[in-house]
Structure 1
Amino acid sequence: MKIFQRTFLLFVLISFLILLFSSFCFAQQRKLEIIYPAVPGVQTPMTTKTALPDYLRYVFTFTIIISGLVAFGAMVYGGILYLTSTGDPAKISDAKDQVTASFLGLIIILSSFLILNTINPQLVLPAKPPLEPATGGIKIYANSNDCGETPTTGKPEDINEFLINQSYPALYATKDSTVILDWGTDGTYKISSIRFLSNPQDLTIEFYSGNDYLGSIKKYDETNYQKNDCQPYAVAQPKSVKLDSHPPGVYLYATENCTGNKYGEDYVIYQSSSATLQEFDNKTQSIKFRYDSKGETKFAAILHEKENYMGEAVLYDQEQGDVNCQSVSDTLSV
C-alpha cells in the first residue's frame, strides 16, 4: 500500500512538473485567455510574453484605482448615512465610524503607493508613452510650379492646394457616386509642386503609380528635401502616396544595415525602457537613434541578452546629427 501511495504521489508530481514546464515553454506563443480592462497610465497585457514587471505594474495600478473608488464610495455612503440619521445617536455613531474607516482606507492606499515607490519606483512609474508622431506633412499644389505663388495658367484663384498629413492609398476616390478626392493620375488636379512642412529626419514621403502603394515613382527623404522647401513636381502623376513618420527614439532593425520600412516587422521604435521586446525578440541586428530637430531629448540604449534586463548587456548611444547605423554585437542576441 505504501509503495502504491509513493508511486501515485511520484506520478502526480511528475505530471504536474511536465504540465508546468510545458506551459512555460509555449507561453510565449499564446495570447491571453482573458481580456484585461484598460487602465490609465499603464500598458495593458496583451500576450503571455508580457514581462513580469509589466504585469505587476498593471495589477498594482488596477488595485490602487479600484481600492480608491471603493474607499471613496464608502466615505460617500457614510456621509449620506450621517445626514439621514438625525436624532438617532446609534446611527450617527455608525456613520462617523464609516467615514473614519473610509478615510483611514484612503490613507493606507496612499501609503502603500509611497512605500512601493520608495522600494521600487519602476513598479509605479507610468508605462512607456505612446510614440510621438511626426507633424506637418506636405502640401501639394495644382496649376502652380512655385507652391501657390503664381499660377501656371489662368488666375491665382485657379490654383488648388491640398494638405497631406497622412497616407492615402488612393488620391482619387469617390463615395456614393460623389468625388471626395480628386488628385493625381485619375483626378482633375495634377500635382505641379510640393511644399515640405516637416523635418526630413522625421518624415519620408513616397508617391506611387498605382493604388495601395504599388509601383514607386518618387521618394523624398533627408537626402533630397528640407523643411519649408518648395519643389516642382516633374515626374509621372501618382495614384497613391505614403507618409512614413520617424518620431524621436531608439530604432531596432531586423537587418544589419538599418533598412526596411515595415514597422513591427523590419523595425520597432522605443522611447522608454521595456523589459521585453515581445514579437521582436531575438531579431535585432542593428540600431539607430533619431532625435527631434530641437535636440531636447537624449537617448541611450542598453540591450540585454535576456528579458527583464538580465544576461549580457551592451550600451549604445549616438550624438545629435549622427545618422549612422550601428551593428548590434554578434555575441548579444536580443
Structure 2
Amino acid sequence: MKKNCFKKTNLSLLLFVLFLAPAVSWASLELTYPSAPDAGIPTLTANSTLGQTIKYFISWAIIIGAVIVFGSLIAAGLQYLSSTGNPAQMRQATSRILNSFLGLLILLGSYLALHTINPQLTIMEVKRTAVPQSVVVAYSKEAQGPPRTVSDAKEKEPFIKRLMTGSKNLLNKWSKNLKFKITKRGSIEEINFADFELDSFSFLEDETGKKPPLKIILYPFEDFQTSKTIGSQKYTYPAKEITPESTSVLHEDIFFRREDLVGTTVLDENGNNYRIEKNDVPTSPKGILTPPLSIRIIGNGPGVYLYEKTYNGTTPVLQNEVYFYRSYEDFRTRTVDDDIDFNDKITEIEIKNEASDYLAVLYEDPRYEGEFRLFFQNKSRMVGTTSQEIGNVKATAIGSSKYTALIKDSNGDTVIDEFGKVKEPSSLFLAQLADDPSVCQEVRLCTGPEYSGDCLVYLPAGKDIDWKEEKENVGLATTTIPFYQAQNIPDSQKVHYKNEKSDGTFEIIERDADFNDNIYSLQIKGQCLVALFDKKIHPNRNQCPAQRDQCWAGGSGPGKNSELFDLSDPDLNPNNITSCKPIKGIGFWTEHSCASSIAVFPYRRDISSGEGSGATRGF
C-alpha cells in the first residue's frame, strides 16, 4: 500500500514538474505555444508576463482536465452497461464514475478558488476579430492617385501613410510647429507647410469591393479644435468630413483657408524667419491654404452619433463627434481616441438606423441614473389599433436620410419634449425597438410588493385578463398599453377583485383604489421597456417642445427620479422612483413612490455595454 502510494506521489510530482517546466523556461525560449480559438487565451511569447504565463497554463489545464473527465465518464458508463452479471466489473465502473465526478468537483473548486483570488486568471472572453490590414490611408501626389485596394496600397507604399489598422480609432497630429516654406516672396500661393507632403485620403476596399463604414474628420487646429482666439478676435473654421461615399477628395478639400496667420513668423526655404503680413493673405478665396493639424477616424455605421456644436452667429460649427454602437455607462471614462473629454458637452444626437430601429436613452448622470430623455426615429408606428407618426428624431430635410434631434438649441437652452429632458448627458443606453408591438404582452403597476394590493394592468388593444388565473383579493383595472407615448397614471380608479366562495366558484367585486404616488411593484411580461416618470405629462403636450412649460407638470421635465426598466421588480422600494422626498416630517424627510406617468416601448434587445446593468433597478 505504501509502495503504491509512493508511486502515485512520484507520478504526481513528475506531472507537476512537466507541467511547470515550460512556465519556468518560457522567458528564454522563442517557442510558439498553442492558443485556444476565441477563448481569450493568449499565445505565449518571450515578452509575456508571469501573470500571462500562469493564466495560460491554468486555462489549458482546466480545458484539458474537463475533456479528460468527460471522456472518463463516457468510458465508465460504457463499462457499466457492458458488465451485466459481473459484479467486480460493475464495482470498478461505479468507482470510475464516482472518481470522475470527484475530478469534476476538484476542477470546479480550482476554478472558483482562482476566480476568488484574481478573476483575471479565469476570464475567457470571446473577442472581436480585428481587420488585419490598414483600411484608411493618406497619400502624397507621388502616389499618382488614391490607392483603392490593399494590394494597390502595397504597391504605393513609399507614397502613403497608413492611418488605421483593425478597429482602432486614430489620433494623428501633424507638426506642432507651423513651419512654412516660401519659394517666392509676395506670392502667398507659394506658402505651404514644409513637412506636409500628404495630398488626400483613401478608403481601401476589401476583397468584395466594399469600403469600410468609417469617416474622417479634419480639424484646422490641434487637439480637435475648430476655434482659436487671438487677442479679442475669435477665428472659427468648421471641421471637414470625408466619407467613403465622397466622389472626389482633392488637395483643397482637406486644407483650410485660415486668416489667423497674420503676424505669424514662419521659415523660408533658407531657414530664415519671415513674418506674414496682412497683404500676404489672399482675398479671393480668402485665407492661407493650410493642412489639418488634427484628424480623427470614427465609425460610420448604424448606431448613435453624438455631437458637440457651437454657433458662429446662427451657423452651427462642429467641435467634436463620437459614435456609439452599444450602451455606455459613463462618458467620464471615455476619452475618444486620446484626449477628447465628451462628458457634459453634447448638443445634438443623430440616429442611423439602416436595418435597425434604435431607441437611445441619454441620462443626466453616469450609470444610467438621473433625469433622462428618450430618442427614436419619427415614423409611422402602431399605437393601439391605429398608425401614428411618432418620434422626436426627425429628418434634417425632406427626403434626407439623416435623422437628428437637438439636445440644446442655438441659444444653449436645454430642449424639453414629451420624451423627457437631459441637460448634460453622462451615459447612454441603446436598444433595438421591435417592429411588432405584440412582443410586449403585459405590464402591471401595483400598490403593494409582490404584485399585491391594487394593480393597473396594461394590455394590448382587444385583450383582457383571465380571472381564473388571478389571485384572490387583488384589485385589477385594465387599460391599453401606452406604446411610445407617456400616459398619466390615474390618481384614483375603480378596480375589480376576485372573491372566492365556499362552493369553489368566485365573484367579481368592485372597489375604489388609490394609485397616486402609490406604485411599489412592477410586473413585465414579454419584451417591454417601461419608463416610469415622477412627473405627470402635461395635457397640452401637443404644444411641446415649442412651449417648454407645456410638456411636463411643473414645466421643468419628467423628474430626476424617473427610471427605465426591462424586467419585473417585485419591490420597487430600493429604486429612485420610490425615493421621492416632497414632505418633511418631524426632523426627517419621508420617502415614497412618485411614479406619475408611464411609457412602454416594445424592443428586440438591448445593446449592452458589457459592464452590467441593474435590470430591475433601471439601467
Structure (1 or 2) with the greater strand fraction: 2
- Quick check: which has more Rg, 1 or 2? 2
TM-score bracket, normalised by the shorter chain, equals 0.3 to 0.5
TM-score, normalised to structure 2's length? 0.23
Q: TM-score when scaled to structure 1?
A: 0.40
Highest RCO, 1 vs 2 (Cα 8 Å, sep ≥ 6): 1
Q: Structure 1 or 2: larger helix share?
A: 1
